[in-house]
Structure 1
Amino acid sequence: MLTSVFILIVMSVPTYAATILILGDSLSAGYGMPEDQGWVQLLRNQLPQHQVINGSVSGETTAGGLRRLPSLLASSKPDLIVIELGGNDGLRGFPPNKLKSNLTKIITLSQQQGAKVLLTEIMVPPNYGPRYAKSFTQIYHQLAEQYTIKLIPFFMQDIATDKALMQRDGIHPNEQAQDTITLLMLPWITQALSE
Protein backbone atom coordinates (compact mmCIF):
# COMPACT_ATOMS: atom_id res chain seq x y z
CA MET A 1 0.00 0.00 0.00
CA LEU A 2 2.75 2.45 0.95
CA THR A 3 4.65 1.62 -2.21
CA SER A 4 1.58 2.33 -4.33
CA VAL A 5 1.02 5.64 -2.56
CA PHE A 6 4.69 6.58 -3.04
CA ILE A 7 4.54 5.85 -6.76
CA LEU A 8 1.36 7.92 -7.10
CA ILE A 9 2.96 10.82 -5.24
CA VAL A 10 6.13 10.68 -7.34
CA MET A 11 4.16 10.52 -10.57
CA SER A 12 1.99 13.48 -9.55
CA VAL A 13 4.91 15.78 -8.70
CA PRO A 14 5.04 18.64 -11.22
CA THR A 15 8.23 18.49 -13.24
CA TYR A 16 9.93 20.86 -15.65
CA ALA A 17 9.59 20.43 -19.39
CA ALA A 18 12.42 18.03 -20.08
CA THR A 19 13.97 16.47 -23.14
CA ILE A 20 14.25 12.70 -22.86
CA LEU A 21 16.42 10.70 -25.25
CA ILE A 22 15.84 6.97 -25.66
CA LEU A 23 19.02 5.38 -27.00
CA GLY A 24 18.10 1.84 -27.88
CA ASP A 25 17.78 -0.95 -30.40
CA SER A 26 14.82 -2.73 -32.00
CA LEU A 27 13.12 -3.24 -28.62
CA SER A 28 12.67 0.53 -28.41
CA ALA A 29 12.50 1.28 -32.14
CA GLY A 30 9.19 -0.57 -32.46
CA TYR A 31 10.46 -3.29 -34.77
CA GLY A 32 7.72 -5.14 -36.64
CA MET A 33 4.94 -2.64 -35.92
CA PRO A 34 3.86 0.90 -36.80
CA GLU A 35 6.08 3.40 -34.99
CA ASP A 36 3.10 4.98 -33.23
CA GLN A 37 2.35 1.64 -31.55
CA GLY A 38 5.76 1.28 -29.87
CA TRP A 39 6.34 1.92 -26.18
CA VAL A 40 8.32 5.11 -26.81
CA GLN A 41 5.32 6.68 -28.55
CA LEU A 42 3.07 5.46 -25.74
CA LEU A 43 5.49 7.09 -23.32
CA ARG A 44 5.17 10.36 -25.25
CA ASN A 45 1.41 10.14 -24.80
CA GLN A 46 1.87 9.76 -21.03
CA LEU A 47 4.35 12.67 -20.78
CA PRO A 48 2.88 15.37 -23.05
CA GLN A 49 4.72 18.15 -21.19
CA HIS A 50 8.09 16.64 -22.11
CA GLN A 51 9.88 16.07 -25.41
CA VAL A 52 10.63 12.38 -25.93
CA ILE A 53 13.15 11.69 -28.70
CA ASN A 54 13.50 8.14 -29.96
CA GLY A 55 17.14 7.65 -30.93
CA SER A 56 16.68 3.90 -31.27
CA VAL A 57 17.68 1.90 -34.34
CA SER A 58 16.85 -1.74 -35.03
CA GLY A 59 19.96 -3.92 -34.97
CA GLU A 60 21.93 -1.33 -33.02
CA THR A 61 24.89 -2.41 -30.90
CA THR A 62 26.59 -0.49 -28.10
CA ALA A 63 29.34 0.44 -30.57
CA GLY A 64 26.79 1.86 -32.98
CA GLY A 65 25.01 3.74 -30.22
CA LEU A 66 28.32 5.19 -29.07
CA ARG A 67 29.12 6.37 -32.61
CA ARG A 68 25.75 8.11 -32.95
CA LEU A 69 25.64 9.56 -29.45
CA PRO A 70 27.68 12.77 -29.91
CA SER A 71 25.41 14.04 -32.69
CA LEU A 72 22.28 13.04 -30.75
CA LEU A 73 23.51 14.87 -27.67
CA ALA A 74 24.40 17.94 -29.72
CA SER A 75 21.07 18.08 -31.56
CA SER A 76 18.70 17.21 -28.69
CA LYS A 77 20.58 18.39 -25.56
CA PRO A 78 18.69 15.86 -23.41
CA ASP A 79 18.03 16.32 -19.72
CA LEU A 80 17.62 12.56 -19.37
CA ILE A 81 18.97 9.70 -21.47
CA VAL A 82 17.65 6.16 -21.21
CA ILE A 83 20.20 3.62 -22.45
CA GLU A 84 18.63 0.41 -23.80
CA LEU A 85 21.50 -1.22 -25.62
CA GLY A 86 23.46 -4.45 -25.52
CA GLY A 87 20.98 -7.03 -26.75
CA ASN A 88 22.55 -7.22 -30.19
CA ASP A 89 26.02 -7.38 -28.66
CA GLY A 90 24.88 -10.45 -26.75
CA LEU A 91 23.10 -12.09 -29.68
CA ARG A 92 26.30 -11.74 -31.70
CA GLY A 93 28.41 -13.13 -28.88
CA PHE A 94 30.54 -10.01 -28.50
CA PRO A 95 33.03 -10.09 -25.58
CA PRO A 96 31.58 -8.71 -22.33
CA ASN A 97 34.60 -6.44 -21.85
CA LYS A 98 33.76 -4.68 -25.14
CA LEU A 99 30.17 -4.25 -24.00
CA LYS A 100 31.40 -2.72 -20.74
CA SER A 101 33.81 -0.39 -22.51
CA ASN A 102 31.16 0.93 -24.89
CA LEU A 103 28.52 1.37 -22.18
CA THR A 104 31.06 3.13 -19.96
CA LYS A 105 31.82 5.62 -22.73
CA ILE A 106 28.10 6.17 -23.41
CA ILE A 107 27.40 6.83 -19.73
CA THR A 108 30.36 9.13 -19.16
CA LEU A 109 29.76 11.10 -22.36
CA SER A 110 26.11 11.59 -21.41
CA GLN A 111 26.99 12.71 -17.89
CA GLN A 112 29.67 15.07 -19.19
CA GLN A 113 26.94 16.78 -21.23
CA GLY A 114 24.89 17.24 -18.06
CA ALA A 115 22.27 14.56 -18.75
CA LYS A 116 20.84 12.28 -16.10
CA VAL A 117 21.23 8.63 -17.07
CA LEU A 118 18.99 5.62 -16.68
CA LEU A 119 20.43 2.26 -17.69
CA THR A 120 18.18 -0.59 -18.77
CA GLU A 121 19.35 -4.04 -17.79
CA ILE A 122 19.77 -6.46 -20.70
CA MET A 123 19.87 -10.24 -20.51
CA VAL A 124 20.84 -12.79 -23.14
CA PRO A 125 19.03 -16.09 -23.75
CA PRO A 126 20.21 -18.97 -21.52
CA ASN A 127 21.37 -20.99 -24.53
CA TYR A 128 24.41 -18.71 -24.71
CA GLY A 129 25.70 -20.48 -21.63
CA PRO A 130 25.36 -19.56 -17.95
CA ARG A 131 28.86 -18.15 -17.67
CA TYR A 132 28.46 -15.73 -20.57
CA ALA A 133 24.91 -14.79 -19.54
CA LYS A 134 25.99 -14.06 -15.96
CA SER A 135 29.05 -12.00 -16.91
CA PHE A 136 26.97 -10.11 -19.47
CA THR A 137 24.21 -9.10 -17.05
CA GLN A 138 26.64 -8.33 -14.22
CA ILE A 139 28.14 -5.53 -16.30
CA TYR A 140 24.93 -3.51 -16.05
CA HIS A 141 24.86 -3.87 -12.27
CA GLN A 142 28.53 -2.95 -11.98
CA LEU A 143 28.14 0.17 -14.11
CA ALA A 144 25.01 1.29 -12.28
CA GLU A 145 26.88 1.06 -8.99
CA GLN A 146 30.09 2.62 -10.31
CA TYR A 147 28.35 5.65 -11.83
CA THR A 148 25.55 5.90 -9.25
CA ILE A 149 22.76 5.56 -11.78
CA LYS A 150 19.44 3.75 -11.58
CA LEU A 151 19.25 0.34 -13.24
CA ILE A 152 15.87 -0.49 -14.74
CA PRO A 153 15.09 -4.25 -14.60
CA PHE A 154 15.08 -5.95 -18.01
CA PHE A 155 11.61 -5.23 -19.35
CA MET A 156 11.60 -8.32 -21.57
CA GLN A 157 12.16 -10.81 -18.76
CA ASP A 158 8.48 -11.67 -18.23
CA ILE A 159 7.32 -10.73 -21.72
CA ALA A 160 9.74 -13.10 -23.49
CA THR A 161 8.18 -16.14 -21.82
CA ASP A 162 4.63 -15.20 -22.87
CA LYS A 163 3.98 -16.17 -26.50
CA ALA A 164 0.91 -13.93 -26.57
CA LEU A 165 3.20 -10.91 -26.13
CA MET A 166 5.89 -11.93 -28.63
CA GLN A 167 6.24 -11.66 -32.38
CA ARG A 168 6.66 -14.82 -34.42
CA ASP A 169 10.45 -14.47 -34.41
CA GLY A 170 10.47 -15.15 -30.67
CA ILE A 171 12.81 -12.17 -30.12
CA HIS A 172 10.73 -9.02 -30.38
CA PRO A 173 7.70 -7.96 -28.34
CA ASN A 174 4.46 -7.42 -30.24
CA GLU A 175 1.97 -4.56 -30.08
CA GLN A 176 0.15 -6.15 -27.13
CA ALA A 177 3.36 -5.97 -25.06
CA GLN A 178 3.93 -2.26 -25.54
CA ASP A 179 1.53 -1.14 -22.79
CA THR A 180 3.31 -3.45 -20.36
CA ILE A 181 6.71 -2.01 -21.28
CA THR A 182 5.40 1.54 -20.96
CA LEU A 183 3.96 0.87 -17.51
CA LEU A 184 7.30 -0.56 -16.40
CA MET A 185 9.38 2.31 -17.79
CA LEU A 186 7.14 5.23 -16.86
CA PRO A 187 7.72 5.32 -13.06
CA TRP A 188 11.50 5.13 -13.48
CA ILE A 189 11.53 7.99 -15.95
CA THR A 190 9.06 10.09 -13.97
CA GLN A 191 11.04 9.62 -10.78
CA ALA A 192 14.31 10.53 -12.51
CA LEU A 193 12.76 13.75 -13.76
CA SER A 194 11.44 14.68 -10.33
CA GLU A 195 14.76 14.19 -8.51
Structure 2
Amino acid sequence: MSWTLCALLAIGVWTIGVFSASVQTGLIAQLNFCDSNHIQHFLCELPSLLLLSCSPTILNDIMIILGDIYFGVFNFLVTMVSYGCIVASILRIRSASGKRRAFSTCSSHLMVVTLYYSTLIYTYFLPGSGASMEYYKVVAALYTTVSPALNPLIYTLRNKDVKAALQKVTPASWWRKRVAT
Protein backbone atom coordinates (compact mmCIF):
# COMPACT_ATOMS: atom_id res chain seq x y z
CA MET A 1 0.00 0.00 0.00
CA SER A 2 1.39 3.40 -0.91
CA TRP A 3 1.78 6.20 1.63
CA THR A 4 -0.67 8.31 -0.36
CA LEU A 5 -3.40 5.67 -0.21
CA CYS A 6 -2.70 5.08 3.48
CA ALA A 7 -2.97 8.81 4.21
CA LEU A 8 -6.17 9.12 2.17
CA LEU A 9 -7.74 6.20 4.03
CA ALA A 10 -6.77 7.67 7.40
CA ILE A 11 -8.08 11.12 6.46
CA GLY A 12 -11.32 9.56 5.19
CA VAL A 13 -11.90 7.58 8.37
CA TRP A 14 -11.14 10.58 10.59
CA THR A 15 -13.42 12.84 8.52
CA ILE A 16 -16.32 10.40 8.73
CA GLY A 17 -15.76 9.96 12.48
CA VAL A 18 -15.61 13.69 13.17
CA PHE A 19 -18.72 14.28 11.03
CA SER A 20 -20.68 11.55 12.82
CA ALA A 21 -19.64 12.77 16.27
CA SER A 22 -20.50 16.35 15.33
CA VAL A 23 -23.98 15.38 14.13
CA GLN A 24 -24.69 13.39 17.30
CA THR A 25 -23.33 16.16 19.54
CA GLY A 26 -25.39 18.79 17.72
CA LEU A 27 -28.56 16.72 18.07
CA ILE A 28 -27.95 16.04 21.78
CA ALA A 29 -27.27 19.76 22.40
CA GLN A 30 -30.77 20.61 21.13
CA LEU A 31 -32.52 18.35 23.65
CA ASN A 32 -34.05 19.48 26.95
CA PHE A 33 -33.18 17.32 29.91
CA CYS A 34 -35.36 16.51 32.91
CA ASP A 35 -34.37 17.16 36.51
CA SER A 36 -32.58 13.84 36.87
CA ASN A 37 -28.95 13.87 35.88
CA HIS A 38 -28.26 10.30 36.98
CA ILE A 39 -27.37 8.06 34.04
CA GLN A 40 -28.51 4.46 34.51
CA HIS A 41 -25.28 3.11 33.06
CA PHE A 42 -21.58 3.00 33.81
CA LEU A 43 -20.79 4.69 30.46
CA CYS A 44 -22.10 7.98 29.14
CA GLU A 45 -23.34 6.61 25.81
CA LEU A 46 -26.01 8.00 23.55
CA PRO A 47 -28.78 5.45 24.31
CA SER A 48 -28.49 5.97 28.07
CA LEU A 49 -28.17 9.74 27.67
CA LEU A 50 -31.35 9.90 25.56
CA LEU A 51 -33.32 8.33 28.40
CA LEU A 52 -32.72 11.50 30.46
CA SER A 53 -34.30 13.78 27.85
CA CYS A 54 -37.74 15.31 28.27
CA SER A 55 -37.75 16.23 24.56
CA PRO A 56 -38.74 13.87 21.75
CA THR A 57 -35.67 11.90 20.67
CA ILE A 58 -36.95 10.34 17.45
CA LEU A 59 -34.44 12.20 15.26
CA ASN A 60 -31.61 11.17 17.59
CA ASP A 61 -32.82 7.56 17.48
CA ILE A 62 -32.94 7.60 13.69
CA MET A 63 -29.44 9.06 13.42
CA ILE A 64 -28.09 6.51 15.91
CA ILE A 65 -29.59 3.67 13.87
CA LEU A 66 -28.23 5.11 10.60
CA GLY A 67 -24.81 5.48 12.20
CA ASP A 68 -25.00 1.93 13.49
CA ILE A 69 -25.91 0.63 10.05
CA TYR A 70 -22.80 2.27 8.62
CA PHE A 71 -20.30 1.92 11.48
CA GLY A 72 -21.59 -1.43 12.71
CA VAL A 73 -23.39 -3.47 10.09
CA PHE A 74 -21.61 -2.23 6.94
CA ASN A 75 -18.14 -2.46 8.51
CA PHE A 76 -18.93 -5.88 9.96
CA LEU A 77 -20.07 -7.14 6.54
CA VAL A 78 -16.93 -5.74 4.87
CA THR A 79 -14.84 -7.48 7.53
CA MET A 80 -16.71 -10.75 6.97
CA VAL A 81 -16.14 -10.51 3.21
CA SER A 82 -12.45 -9.98 3.96
CA TYR A 83 -12.44 -13.09 6.17
CA GLY A 84 -14.22 -14.98 3.40
CA CYS A 85 -11.33 -14.13 1.06
CA ILE A 86 -8.86 -15.23 3.74
CA VAL A 87 -10.69 -18.55 4.21
CA ALA A 88 -10.71 -19.09 0.44
CA SER A 89 -6.94 -18.53 0.42
CA ILE A 90 -6.47 -20.90 3.35
CA LEU A 91 -8.42 -23.62 1.58
CA ARG A 92 -5.91 -23.41 -1.30
CA ILE A 93 -3.04 -24.29 1.06
CA ARG A 94 -1.88 -27.81 0.26
CA SER A 95 -0.55 -28.96 3.63
CA ALA A 96 -2.92 -29.91 6.41
CA SER A 97 -0.64 -28.40 9.07
CA GLY A 98 -0.55 -25.10 7.17
CA LYS A 99 -4.34 -25.04 6.96
CA ARG A 100 -4.64 -25.90 10.64
CA ARG A 101 -2.24 -23.14 11.67
CA ALA A 102 -3.93 -20.56 9.46
CA PHE A 103 -7.43 -21.52 10.65
CA SER A 104 -6.23 -21.39 14.25
CA THR A 105 -5.07 -17.80 13.84
CA CYS A 106 -8.06 -16.77 11.73
CA SER A 107 -10.65 -18.30 14.07
CA SER A 108 -9.43 -16.42 17.14
CA HIS A 109 -9.47 -13.13 15.23
CA LEU A 110 -12.91 -13.90 13.84
CA MET A 111 -14.24 -14.67 17.33
CA VAL A 112 -13.10 -11.29 18.70
CA VAL A 113 -14.39 -9.37 15.67
CA THR A 114 -17.78 -11.09 15.88
CA LEU A 115 -18.04 -10.50 19.64
CA TYR A 116 -17.14 -6.84 19.24
CA TYR A 117 -19.44 -6.02 16.34
CA SER A 118 -22.42 -8.05 17.57
CA THR A 119 -22.41 -6.38 20.99
CA LEU A 120 -21.87 -2.94 19.48
CA ILE A 121 -24.69 -3.40 16.96
CA TYR A 122 -27.02 -4.65 19.71
CA THR A 123 -26.31 -1.60 21.87
CA TYR A 124 -27.00 0.98 19.20
CA PHE A 125 -29.87 -0.68 17.34
CA LEU A 126 -32.12 -0.37 20.38
CA PRO A 127 -31.59 3.27 21.40
CA GLY A 128 -33.73 4.80 24.08
CA SER A 129 -35.94 1.78 24.72
CA GLY A 130 -35.04 1.67 28.42
CA ALA A 131 -36.60 -1.76 28.69
CA SER A 132 -33.35 -3.63 29.16
CA MET A 133 -30.77 -1.28 30.70
CA GLU A 134 -29.27 -4.19 32.63
CA TYR A 135 -28.60 -5.99 29.33
CA TYR A 136 -27.06 -2.80 27.93
CA LYS A 137 -24.64 -2.77 30.86
CA VAL A 138 -23.59 -6.38 30.29
CA VAL A 139 -23.26 -5.90 26.55
CA ALA A 140 -21.31 -2.66 27.02
CA ALA A 141 -18.92 -4.48 29.35
CA LEU A 142 -18.37 -7.07 26.63
CA TYR A 143 -17.40 -4.61 23.90
CA THR A 144 -15.48 -2.21 26.14
CA THR A 145 -13.46 -4.73 28.16
CA VAL A 146 -13.54 -8.27 26.78
CA SER A 147 -12.80 -7.55 23.11
CA PRO A 148 -9.92 -5.12 23.81
CA ALA A 149 -8.48 -7.52 26.41
CA LEU A 150 -8.57 -10.48 24.00
CA ASN A 151 -6.77 -8.67 21.16
CA PRO A 152 -3.36 -8.38 22.88
CA LEU A 153 -3.64 -11.99 24.04
CA ILE A 154 -4.33 -13.22 20.53
CA TYR A 155 -1.45 -11.29 19.00
CA THR A 156 1.15 -11.79 21.74
CA LEU A 157 0.60 -15.47 22.46
CA ARG A 158 1.42 -16.24 18.84
CA ASN A 159 4.76 -14.44 19.14
CA LYS A 160 7.77 -16.76 19.62
CA ASP A 161 9.57 -14.30 21.92
CA VAL A 162 6.54 -14.00 24.21
CA LYS A 163 6.17 -17.79 24.32
CA ALA A 164 9.86 -18.14 25.23
CA ALA A 165 9.49 -15.55 28.02
CA LEU A 166 6.40 -17.35 29.36
CA GLN A 167 8.28 -20.64 29.37
CA LYS A 168 10.98 -19.07 31.54
CA VAL A 169 8.44 -17.75 34.03
CA THR A 170 6.03 -20.70 34.28
CA PRO A 171 6.88 -24.17 35.61
CA ALA A 172 8.13 -26.67 33.04
CA SER A 173 5.44 -29.20 34.05
CA TRP A 174 2.73 -26.81 32.87
CA TRP A 175 4.32 -26.57 29.39
CA ARG A 176 4.66 -30.36 29.12
CA LYS A 177 0.95 -30.73 29.84
CA ARG A 178 0.13 -27.98 27.34
CA VAL A 179 2.21 -29.55 24.56
CA ALA A 180 0.79 -33.03 25.27
CA THR A 181 -2.84 -31.90 24.73
Measured against the shorter chain, the TM-score band is under 0.3
Normalization by structure 2: what TM-score? 0.23
- Which structure: larger Rg? 2
Higher helix share: 2
Higher strand share: 1
